[in-house]
A and B are shown apart, each in its own frame.
Chain A
Amino acid sequence: MTDVAVSTTEVKARTTSEQRRATIVGVALIALGGFVFWAFGLNVAGDLDSTFKLSLPTDRFQGIEWTVNTQLLGFVVAGILAFLGGVVLRRSHLKWTNRILAVGMVLFVLAFLAWAAGGKSFSLVGMLRSTVILSVPVTLGALTGLMCERVAIINIAIEGQLLTAAFVGTILGSAFGPWVGLFGALVSGAVLGGVLAVLSIKYRVDQIIAGVVINIFALGLTSFLASRVLAEAPHFNSPGRFTPWPIPILSDIPVLGPMFFDHSFFVYGMFILVIVIHFGLFYTRWGLRSRSVGEHPEAADTVGINVYRTRYRNVILGGLIAGFGGAFITLSQVPRFEENITAGIGFIGLAAMIFGRWMPFGVLGAGLVFGFARGLQTKLGILGAPIPSEFLSMTPYIVTIIVVAGVVGKARPPAADGQPYIKD
């Protein structure tokens, strides 16, 4: 019997779409370099200095700063960007395109911050810290979406889940203390997840419609109750807060300390969840079975896996995560509930999920990017940068569109995404 080849069939072809994207990215980087050269270099007075503060007033080690000549930094970054663009254009290592792009963007942001802080000082470490904090609801929302989509259920209702959890957390937190509030938030997120699951699995409602409906319902109900109940009884709108738990020793490390190790447990929880979900999905039986349901539910069914039950379970687990995220908003981030306090974070979370390629660590990275974009508006407002605040507010949304339009490469969602599984 002849041996038929058992390994990957030879890729004899050129990869045309990857090459095209590399060209676009390369040209964009060079153009960006040119822009930086002009806007953050030539356009800046030669004697301006930007000071980046690297320690917070509350840190153990004080007074760490980095002062740099604004114009010089602009020129240097412009040069590096042009160089990186050239490297990408050579298309010799296509796999690095995304990583180089990421590095380029970081440098661009650095130059931009330096320009905005020209002649003043700017707390870089404060910005980094708030990036992490602002990324929490986004990442948690993205993780919720990930849990659902990995079993092929599209969850548009993340926004509604976060909002409801925030509301429930506030009410119960005001009445019985923040821990009860947290518990209530978790439960409410799970319940809404259950509703989504029932609608889309049992009643086979189109998943996007089900999600949109839950959002409308959540917005309506929370707004209604907020004006009818909270307005009358404002003592229901002052839940306690979870104070930060700094990790001893680690939180004293300059820069990294305040950035990662001095937060409320929600932030730590986010990091832990990312790790747990990653290992769960790819190294455990639960993960293998869940992914099989998302990629090829028929195959899973034929080996005896209960597709419906897997989907219910994972969507509800995702709901718990959303509950956690909602609780963070009103029990840690801000002191009270307001109508529509989430303002689209759930949808940014969805974008982060796509940006992060449905992988937990990718989602974490994406969440940080969006957290940064969210923080820009306040920080630059403080600096008095000459950009209208409304445009800064638009940044996360514009970034989302760019991401979803595939500038960062084509994404492959789980194969059965969005399709209900119909058995006899």
Chain B
Amino acid sequence: MTQGAPPEDPIEDEDPIEDQGYPEWFERVTGVGSSIGQAMVVPVLALFTALIIGGVIIILTDLDTLRLYGESPGEAAKESIVGVWEAYKALFLGAVGSPRAISDTLFSATPLILAGLAVAIGFRAGLFNIGVNGQMLIGGMAALWVGFSFSLPLVVHIMLAFLAGIIFGALWGSIAGLLKGKTGAHEVITTIMLNFIALFLVDYLLKTSFFQATGRQDPISRVVAESARLPTLFPWGRVHIGFLIALVAVFFTYWLLFKSSIGFEFRAVGFNPDAGRYAGMNVAWIYVSVMAISGGLAGIAGSNQLLGLAPYQALPGFSGTTGFDAIALALLGRSHPFGVLAAGLLFGALRAGGRSMQGLAGIPLDLVLIMQALIIVFIAAPELVRSIYRIKAPEGEEGLQLTKGWGG
């Protein structure tokens, strides 16, 4: 029952979407009035605001310059501004400043896009998959094993490795789906727990003879065979066919969600599982399928991390923070495959630029994490951005409401 909305029937003749109040030329130039334009306003402003806040943080944590304020404020202020400028220059150049930088961006974007798709599919079905990290780990280990255990022709070997990655990632993901479907256990907790379990499992496996590099005592795996390493796309930079695979995944996810009957079920159950049940859908089974597909995508991401970059070996926790970044991506991309692609490219750029920023200007990579978090906040609470910049909301915007409590 809607609370606060008009109690029963609204009057039949609906108003057309109101005029947003921008001057006409502005709308034509920026496309703000159109619906794609609408969708872009908040994300762009979010990025902008995040950059500003990031700059402030850089200034406030530059201890040397801060001390300088005591002696000569003018000098110090200049130092601060220069510091921010250098940082962001490094960021920008590192992201798109050269073919090598662009290649680096695409390279960083690849796992993010895949992981983001995994989370986005979950969101569409009403499931919060925080377990991408764990699914990447398990899927990645499977691909790794195929990678160093055989010697096969290039194409076959790579396909086999990815297949293993998909299957095992899917299996790991479906555990949470099964728990949710059969017992109602909330996937937020189960996936986080499974993350930790996967982490420790990988720790352990990397010390067993099965996986451990011969002659090593520390947890590190054997090296992937030449025939399973992903070939690079261009002579400069590191981007490899993993990026193409990510693109394929984007289109596949789009088709799945919006053109297939399976995706129709996912979306229906995501919005309203009761209606799904009434319509004859097997909701528990759908939860398992969604988590399996999601886990499979994460498995590809994990495999990508091991097969696509030096040293072609696994270290503990090789999935890093990709799982959490993926949540940001899915939100930013509004859980739409193309949105995730765009967001992934953006974050890839931030990553590549961030590395450059760390190397050249000495700013820790974590700043990018902070900016990511800020961007998510602004996306998830568009009100915040709008009230800062005094913009009106478009008609009938769906609040991003996913939580239905813990209930089974």
Contacts and interface: CB of A to CB of B under 8 A. Distances in A.
A410 B401 CA distance: 25
B369 A209 contact: no
A210 B399 CA distance: 13
Interface string B256-273: 000000000000000000
Contacts of A223: 364, 366, 369
A419 B405 contact: yes
Nearest to B64: A232
B189 A213 contact: no
Contact of B61 (A213, A217, A229, A418): A229
A203 B384 contact: yes
Interface residues of B, number: 53
Interface stretch (A7-15, A114-122, A279-287, A344-352): A344-352
A397 B201 CA distance: 12
B377 A154 contact: no
A406 B184 CA distance: 8
A404 B186 contact: yes
Contacts of A419: 403-405
B252 interface: no
Interface of A is mostly: helix
Nearest to B130: A212
Interface string A387-424: 01011011001101100111000110100011111111
A216 B88 CA distance: 22
B369 A220 contact: yes
Nearest to B128: A208
B373 A217 contact: yes
Contacts of A424: 4
Interface string B52-94: 0000010001010000000000000000000000000000000
Nearest to B176: A401
Contacts of A199: 377, 380-381
A51 to B, nearest CB: 30
Contact of A224 (B183, B188, B197, B370): B370
Given A405-B179, A405-B185, A220 B373 contact: yes
Interface in B1-58: 3-4, 57
Contact of A156 (B188, B197, B204, B384): B188
B206 to A, nearest CB: 10
A377 B347 CA distance: 38
B217 to A, nearest CB: 15
Interface in A98-126: none
A378 interface: no
Interface string B327-351: 1100100000000000000000000
Interface in A205-257: 205-210, 212-213, 215-217, 219-221, 223-225, 227-229, 232-233
B61 A228 contact: yes
Given A216-B373, A344-B196, A350 B328 contact: no
A150 to B, nearest CB: 13
Question: Which of B61, B63, B203, B373 is the most central at the interface, judged by chain A CB atoms within 10 Å of its CB?
Answer: B373
Contact of B402 (A206, A405, A417): A206
Contact of A213 (B57, B373, B403, B406): B373
Nearest to A152: B405
A342 B295 CA distance: 26
A397 B196 contact: yes
Contacts of A388: 204
Contacts, number: 160
B324 interface: yes
B193 A422 contact: no
A213 B400 CA distance: 14
Contacts of B401: 204, 206, 420
B407 interface: yes
A157 to B, nearest CB: 12
Contacts of A221: 366, 370
A419 B401 CA distance: 9
B407 to A, nearest CB: 7
B232 interface: no
A354 interface: yes
Given A220-B370, A418-B406, A344 B192 contact: yes
Contacts of B197: 394, 397-398
B235 interface: no
A298 interface: yes
B331 A209 contact: yes
Nearest to A220: B369
A393 B192 CA distance: 15
A225 B402 contact: no
Interface in B192-209: 192-194, 196-197, 200-201, 203-204
6 contacts: A156-B188, A204-B381, A210-B377, A213-B376, A228-B363, A398-B193
Which 9 A-B residue pairs are closest in the complex by CB-CB distance? A220-B369, A224-B366, A418-B405, A217-B373, A390-B204, A417-B405, A203-B381, A418-B403, A220-B370
Interface of B: 3-4, 57, 61, 63, 128, 130, 179, 183-186, 188-190, 192-194, 196-197, 200-201, 203-204, 324, 327-328, 331, 363-364, 366-367, 369-370, 372-374, 376-377, 380-381, 383-384, 399-408
Given A224-B61, A405-B183, 5 more contacts: A203-B384, A207-B403, A220-B372, A224-B370, A344-B196
Interface of A: 154, 156, 199, 202-210, 212-213, 215-217, 219-221, 223-225, 227-229, 232-233, 298, 344, 347, 350-351, 354, 388, 390-391, 393-394, 397-398, 400-401, 404-406, 410-411, 413, 417-424
